Amino acid sequence: MVFHYLKSIQAAEIAPFGSAFPNSELLYNQKFIQLLAQHAKRKNSYLNGDNMPPGNLSLRKLIASRYILQGVSCTADDIVITSELWML
């Protein structure tokens, strides 16, 4: 799985949204900006609401459950997410 991921991030057709420094050509793409604006206008948009730190509760619960599977005692309240762009 790790090698699959490493290979996929080298593919030119895959947007590197996981990077702390996304390609500026992607961020200033007119179509991307239009889609982002349309999504942000929705009343129940993922971009509005509880997605600022500490982050989306369902994502924090999922992360906490993964830690629990690995033997780490943790709850969603122990998790802080500072950056989210995972379900546009």
Amino acid at site 41: K
pLDDT tens-digit readout, 29-83: 888 888 878 877 776 655 555 556 788 888 899 999 999 999 999 999 999 887 6
Q: For residue 86, give the DSSP letter.
A: S
pTM of the model: 0.43
Check residue 36 and report its DSSP letter.
H
Q: How far apart are CA 19 and CA 85, in angstroms?
A: 11
> What tens digit of pLDDT does each residue of 40-55 get?
777 665 555 555 678 8
From the CB of residue 22, how many other CB atoms can be counted at a distance below 10 Å? 13
